[in-house]
Amino acid sequence: MTSVVEIVKGFVSLIVGMGVTIKAFFSPVVTVQYPRKTINITPRFRGHTKLVADSERPERTKCIVCGMCERNCPSKSIKKITGEKLEGEKKKTATQYILDFTTCSQCGICVETCPVDALEFSADYNPVGYKREDFHYDLVKEFEKRRQKL
């Protein structure tokens, strides 16, 4: 049998709890109505990787087609890297770099192991598509598209 004091204390605790929710009722909302408003993405966000332009020859990427990222990827997401050696150059340049983003776990091992720092994370936080093939990115083509925009 509960005593009168306990019943009163219990009742008061209920009223205090209701006070908390009514205070929240009159407070502003903390949600952001996406997609009508968007938030800024931090610069270190790990979207899919992208190729970085070579500082001396900005029309090309830094990638030298060594295959370190392909060998070290835990999920085997980097499917094919092809390159060609142009006239008068010492190292190869990349012509095709297929990344299967559907199996990528954004671990950053490819970015770390690249000997020339050719890969970087992009800030693409909302990629959309209708089929799985929409997420098989060719990073060289994406690089070209970005250069066209500039």
Distance CA 120, CA 108 (A): 9
Q: What is the smallest separation between the CB atom of 23 and another protein, expressed in angstroms?
A: 9
Q: What is the smallest separation between the CB atom of 118 and another protein, expressed in angstroms?
A: 17
Q: Which of 74, 75, 72, 139 is nearest to 102 (CA)?
A: 75
Q: What is the smallest separation between the CB atom of 58 and another protein, expressed in angstroms?
A: 25
HSE-CB of 123 using CA atoms within 13 angstroms: 6
HSE-CB of 118 using CA atoms within 13 angstroms: 22
Q: 6: which 2 tokens? A: 């306990």
**Between residues 35 and 88, which has the closer beta carbon with respect to another protein?**
35
Q: What is the smallest separation between the CB atom of 85 and another protein, expressed in angstroms?
A: 25
For position 116 contacting another protein by CB under 8 A, the verdict is no
Where along the sequence are the contacts to another protein (CB under 8 A)?
1-2, 7, 9-11, 13-14, 16-22, 24-31, 33, 42, 44-46, 72-75, 105-109, 112-113, 121
